[in-house]
Structure formats: C-alpha cells, structure tokens
Structure 1
Amino acid sequence: MLTLGIALLVAAVVLFVAEAHVPAGGMLGAGGVVALVAGAWIALVAAGAGLLVAVPVAVGTGVVSAAVLALVASKTVRAMRLPTSSGSESLVGRTGDVRAALEAGGAPGQVFVEGALWRAEAANEYEEREALRVGDRVVVERVRGLTLCVRKAEQWERET
C-alpha cells in the first residue's frame, strides 16, 4: 500500500511538470492535485499515521497545491490576453509617417513606424486609392511579409 502512495506522489510531480510544458488548460495540474491528495493519504495511512493525521495532511496539501495551480493559471491567462508586443503583428493599429510617397495607382512607398522604415502599400483595395504624400500620417491596417498595408489616418488618430 505504501508503494501505491509513493507511486501516486511521483505521478503528481510528473503531472505538475507536464502541466508546465504542455498546454492542457489545467487538466494535468488538476490530475496532479488529485494524485497528490490520494498519494499523501494512502502513504500516511500505510505508514501507520492513522486517519486523524492522514486526512488533514492530505487535504491541506491538496488545498495548497490547488491554490498555487490556480494562481499560476490566472497569471497565464492574463499574459495570454495581453496584446502582442513584438514582431510585425504588433504594428497593426500603430501610426506612422510617410517618408516616400505612395502613389494612387498602388506603387509602394515607405513609412516610418515604431522607429523603423517599412515598405508600404495603400490598404484600400476596394475603394479609389488616394495618394499618400511625404509627411502624411498613416495607420497600419495589416502586415504582409515585410510590407505594411496602410491607410491615411483620421483626424483623431493623427493626434496620438
């Protein structure tokens, strides 16, 4: 019986480590908590500690590990909801200045966004394209490879 308790405790540790490395949505961690409580209870009873000691120790261990798991899960979810802060995807919605004119016919130009010069094209594919002159304020609509698709910034967007 003691061997089963120790095996469950080892399984709990394995499940906690797996939870840290595999996106399982907390299911591996929950299984680890159950294995920890069951393993602690079985190991303590098999060692002769009695129910008076085994139950509070097993439940206390389970509550503490579940609280830690919940804290880590909430921090993980909060971090996943943050906007992208690196890479080209983070440029969508940012404003910049035209440095080389974008012609109405679709000829690419250059824009300066977030401290870097980018190749740019007008984003309005279905409307009549408006030429963007040097100094115009633009907003990045999407990123296609190393080319930004931009549109002219509205008045309220120019002030940011």
Structure 2
Amino acid sequence: MTGVAGSADWYLAPMLSAERQLDAAVDGAAEEIRRAEEVIADLESSEEAVTEDEIAQFRDYVTGPGRTPAWDAVAARVASGEITWRAVVEGELALDEGVRTAYETSARITSEEQLTSTDRPQRAESEVGAVHSRAGWEDDDDYFSDLTPFDDSQY
C-alpha cells in the first residue's frame, strides 16, 4: 500500500533522506549562529572606551572651531546637567533630535589635525542646508535599499 494515507511506506527512503538533510542544515545554521555570537561578544568586550582626553578634545572642537548654533544648544544641555559629553561622544544620544541636528550641522572631520586646528572648518556649498530627501521613492524599502553605508557621496 504505497502512497496511501495511513501507510508508513511513503515515509521511508525519500522522506528520511530529506529529514536528515534538513536536520543537518538546521544544525549547521545553529553552529553558525553560535560562532557569530562568539565573534560579537569578542568585539563588544574588546571595544576601547573613549578616554576623558578624547571627550575633552571633542568638546573643545564643537565649542570652538566647529561651533554651530546646534552645538551651542547641546553645550547648554550639558551645562544644565541634562546630558553629558560622554553620552554625546559615545553615541548614547544618537536618536536625540538636538544631538543629531548638531552632528548634521558639523563639517566632516577627516583627520585628527582638523580637530586640533584653530581654523573654523568650511562646509562645502552642497552640504549647507542639504537634506537627503526620499521624494520620488515608491516606499521606504526602495529608498533604504539604495543607500550604501559609509558612502558620503550621496549627502
């Protein structure tokens, strides 16, 4: 009675083979997940903390040569105790509207010399007031799928 409901014959060779292949694939995926978790844990534990000197250098830059009205607002919040420079530098406030706006108003820093320079950095004309628009995209998936991380040419 092969192939008849209720019969176990249909389950034999092809199904047992498929079941073994699926089990092997699941085991392989589980092992890859375990390895990825180990790599992530290693990376997280090896991250160097931002030093007080680096925070002071950043603060001195955004309140000095890199000063903008948006950074003045952030500095006022730090002075009031609402936030800290460490939280700003370490990215804890990346979703904060005021901090994000301040970063967006800053000229791009491409070298350590720019941080220590007393000259005010100039933004390219195309950067001033530029907003990367999603207009013309059918939906957010299309818009974000075309963005490449670390590709500054689109800003």
Fold-level match, TM-score > 0.5? Answer: no
More helix by proportion, 1 or 2?
Answer: 2
Give the structure with higher Rg (CA): 1
